[in-house]
Structures are given as C-alpha cells and as structure tokens.
Amino acid sequence: MADRLMQSVVQVRRNDRWEAVAVIDGRRYPDRAAFDAAVLDAFDSLDDAGIPAQLQREEIRPDEPPSQLPFWEDYKGMLATKADVDQEETRNA
C-alpha cells in the first residue's frame, strides 16, 4: 500500500495564539522519507531559533488545491533573513 499524502501546517505562538505561517506539502517531495525530513527540519529550526511552534499533520488528496500559506522552505528563508537583520541591529546598537 502506498503512503498516504500528508501535509504539515507550521504554527507559531504569537500573542497567546497559534498562527499558521507555513506549510510542508507532501506532494512537493519525492517520497515520505523526504517529507518527514522536512518536518523534522522545521521543528528543529524553529526550536533552535527559540520560536514556540507546533506542526499539525493532516492527510491530503492529490487533487486538493494547494495551501495559500508559504512553503516551509520559503518561510525558513524569511526567518534566516530576519535573524541576519536582527544580528546587524544588535551589533549597531
């Protein structure tokens, strides 16, 4: 039996609420192992950055429309850019 298609919605804690900020869409990965590695990367990256987060995993259909949320890789890039800016501001303070 083939693995079911999954996606994980990445949520971060802001102002005492969980906010969906990105999606890890299993259709974008060659296999379940690559999807699981992306989920682990998201969890580890957010944990390392000290960002309270949770990942909500759900089954999706192959023909389901894509999420309107940014893909995890794009969001991770935004986090890296923000961290660089924050470090520069700290050095210049």
Q: What is the tens place of the pLDDT at every residue in 12-50?
A: 998 999 999 999 999 999 999 999 999 999 999 999 989
Domain assignment of residue 1, yes or no: no
Tens of pLDDT, residues 70-86: 999 999 998 877 655 45
Whole-structure pTM value: 0.81
Which H helix or E strand runs over 90?
Answer: helix 72-92
Report which of 30, 31, 32, 54 is spatially closest to residue 42, judged by C-alpha positions. 54
- Compute and round to an integer the Cα radius of gyration of the chain: 15
Domain assignment of residue 80, yes or no: yes
Domain assignment of residue 28, given as a range: 6-92
Report which of 22, 26, 59, 28 is spatially closest to residue 42, judged by C-alpha positions. 22
Q: What whole-number distance in Å separates Cα of residue 9 and Cα of residue 73?
A: 13
The two structure tokens encoding residue 68: 């309107």
* Position 2, amino acid: A
Q: How many domains does the chain have?
A: 1
